[in-house]
Amino acid sequence: MISRKIFFQLTGIALAVAFILSACITAATIAPAPAWTASSLPVLPTATETPMPTATPAPTATATITPTATLPPVAQVIPSVTAYCRSGPGSNYNPITTLDSGTAYNVIGRNSSNTWWLVQLYGGAVTCWTGAPGTNLVGPVEQAPIVLAQPVLPSPGMFMYSYSCNPGTSKNTFNVTLTWDSVLGATGYHLYRDGVSLASVGATVGSYTDYNAPMNVNLMYELEALNENGSTAPVYVMVPACG
């Protein structure tokens, strides 16, 4: 019994000694961590930034200003009086319409002598020729192209007369007969006496008798052939007075 009691006492003493030694060893072993200062920190190499290449700006497109085209002046004629506008460049061509005084008409052509001008009317729907005296020219009229018009017919040939003069008789008449050669392509003929219209005849007729010719005066007869373009230049005969 004594031996067991002594054993337990010795065992308790041994455990106490072991606990004390363990505490001493632990206290001696665990020391506080040293304090780090800024000077004791390792110096790391400084990172060097590599600059990014600078983008080259694209060249700015410069707007090219196109100069405004200057329109050439328009060739025009302005009649100073109301005038006929004809089918061709001459007074023997048929009138198509009339041009108003003071109105400007666009020129699209001219004759070679620059005395008649081909103009446009109604937005170009009608073209005709004008050569009125006193017409005012505007713009490059002389630069308009020369236009050849459909010619009128040649004048009749062999325009001749014969007459029957009976003054102081019961008849007391003066009859003048006119004859001429036909013109190929003519649609008719027109006669004048002393500048006054006398008669119109068909294309197949080649003579005409004036049964009421005035007496005691010289008479001038005039003949022209006709077609769709106009009349020919007239031909004349002079008949001596009867009486």
Write out pLDDT tens, residues 81-129: 999 999 999 988 999 999 999 999 999 999 999 999 999 988 888 899 9
CATH topology of domain 160-239: Immunoglobulin-like (2.60.40)
Q: Which DSSP string do the residues of 170-223 spell out, in sequence order? A: SS-EEEEEEE----TT--EEEEEETTEEEEEEETT--EEEETTPPSSS-EEEEE
What's the CATH code, domain 76-143?
2.30.30.40
Positive or negative: CA dihedral 40, 42, 44, 45: positive
In the predicted structure, residue 7 carries a pLDDT above the cut 70 = no
Name residues whose C-beta falls within 8 Å of residue 151's C-beta, 6 or more positions apart in sequence: 88, 229
Write out pLDDT tens, residues 170-181: 778 899 999 999
CB 156 within 8 A of CB 180: yes
Cα(164)–Cα(39) distance, integer angstroms = 157
Cα(25)–Cα(9) distance, integer angstroms = 24
Name which residue leads in pLDDT, 161 or 154. Answer: 161
Per-residue pLDDT, 106: 95
Q: Which two tokens stand for residue 63?
A: 């707007």
Break the chain into its structural domains and give their ranges.
76-143, 160-239
Convert 176-210 to b/e letters by CB count within 10 Å (16 or more is b).
bebbbeebeebeebbbbbeeeebeeeebeeeebeb
In the predicted structure, residue 8 carries a pLDDT above the cut 70 = no
